């Protein structure tokens, strides 16, 4: 029931938004485009709608992923990229671009996804110790392993940029993230992953609440800590990896959205995860609309979210700490 109402609510709300945006856009483009309704249809259904929907769903997935990471790593400042997932994806994509595989259009996302997954398993492997499995997956170990792996990978990316002569601008542009020329395929792929991820995270939402009590307390209350940590980490990382592979690196949504929603609803993950998802969709759609329709030049959305999200986050953080 919860799941159904959520997915309904989710599609419904951005839909209203999309309809109004689309409406405004079609009217303002009246002069530019040929006055035929066929053109509108093509513009809306082949270009705008896939882009808008992909954008909303990526925002939603990033926000869900962020809430999961903050819950597992017990750190309100964790985000999907803390475990180096984004660096892995970026590294994979850079290789694909460098080897000029981008001719076959799927290969950049595919490489990005592979890179992200490989990084995740490397991080899990690093922080897991067979001798002491309980404390092995502690948040400190995970964050530390994530940072180490991410640092190595960003050095790798710099090296790739250095040896990539002509493709360097392609790499840089991809890394900054964009929703330009997204297709229906992108949308459906992310949607499927989001639905799976959402189901898993709602299923374990109460266990995630208990994890914040500390490892021992959670275990004594019947939470199989190791199992749930791994399931939720993989879920969160998959969501982030899919997003990165579709749209490049978009920072701050995964960090900012769950954090802000937590101020409003409190820390209960059963409310936090679905609400973050809706808010994430709104926020990213808003940002994308600004870059696409309001600004004179289309700037990469990753840059915009970081530039606007960063200061907003600083303000909330400061205000909340001294309340």
Q: What residue ranges bind other proteins (CB under 8 A)? A: 2, 74-76, 131-132, 134, 203, 206, 209-210, 212-217, 219-224, 262, 266-268
- Minimum distance of other proteins from residue 124's CB (angstroms): 20
- Minimum distance of other proteins from residue 51's CB (angstroms): 35
Q: Is the Cβ of residue 266 or residue 296 nearer to other proteins in the bound state?
A: 266
Q: Is the Cβ of residue 74 or residue 147 nearer to other proteins in the bound state?
A: 74
- Minimum distance of other proteins from residue 67's CB (angstroms): 11
* Measured torsion, CA atoms of residues 286, 291, 296, 297, in degrees rounded to the nearest 10: 180
- Minimum distance of other proteins from residue 143's CB (angstroms): 13
- Minimum distance of other proteins from residue 209's CB (angstroms): 7
Q: Which two tokens stand for residue 60?
A: 């939603």
Q: Is the Cβ of residue 46 or residue 224 nearer to other proteins in the bound state?
A: 224
Q: Is the Cβ of residue 180 or residue 195 nearer to other proteins in the bound state?
A: 195
- Minimum distance of other proteins from residue 97's CB (angstroms): 40
Q: Is the Cβ of residue 158 or residue 217 nearer to other proteins in the bound state?
A: 217
Q: Is the Cβ of residue 180 or residue 316 nearer to other proteins in the bound state?
A: 316
């Amino acid at each position: 029931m919860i799941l159904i109402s959520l997915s309904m609510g989710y599609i419904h709300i951005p839909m209203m938004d999309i309809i109004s945006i689309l409406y405004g856009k079609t009217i303002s483009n009246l002069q530019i485009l040929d006055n035929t309704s066929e053109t509108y249809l093509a513009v809306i259904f082949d270009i705008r709608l896939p882009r808008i929907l992909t954008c909303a769903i990526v925002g939603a997935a990033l926000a869900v992923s962020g809430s999961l990471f903050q819950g597992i790593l017990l750190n309100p400042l964790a985000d999907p990229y803390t475990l180096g997932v984004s660096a892995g994806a970026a590294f994979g994509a850079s290789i694909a671009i460098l080897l000029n595989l981008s001719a076959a259009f799927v290969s950049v996302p595919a490489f990005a996804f592979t890179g992200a997954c490989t990084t995740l398993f490397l991080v899990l492997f690093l922080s897991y110790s067979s001798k002491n499995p309980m404390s092995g997956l502690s948040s400190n170990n995970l964050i530390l392993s994530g940072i180490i792996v991410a640092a190595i990978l960003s050095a790798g990316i710099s090296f790739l940029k250095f040896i990539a002569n002509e493709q360097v601008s392609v790499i840089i542009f991809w890394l900054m993230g964009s929703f330009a020329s997204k297709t229906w395929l992108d949308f459906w792929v992310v949607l499927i992953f989001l639905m799976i991820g959402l189901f898993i995270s709602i299923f374990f939402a109460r266990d995630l609440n208990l994890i914040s009590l500390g490892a021992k307390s959670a275990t004594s209350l019947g939470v199989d800590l190791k199992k749930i940590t791994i399931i939720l980490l993989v879920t969160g990382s998959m969501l982030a990896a899919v997003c990165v592979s579709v749209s490049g690196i978009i920072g701050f949504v995964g960090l900012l959205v769950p954090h802000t929603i937590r101020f409003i609803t409190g820390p209960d993950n059963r409310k936090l995860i679905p609400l973050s998802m809706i808010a994430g969709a709104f926020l990213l759609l808003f940002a994308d609309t600004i870059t696409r329709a309001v600004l004179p030049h289309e700037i990469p959305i990753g840059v915009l979210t970081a530039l606007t999200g960063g200061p907003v986050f600083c303000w909330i953080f400061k205000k909340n700490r001294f309340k």
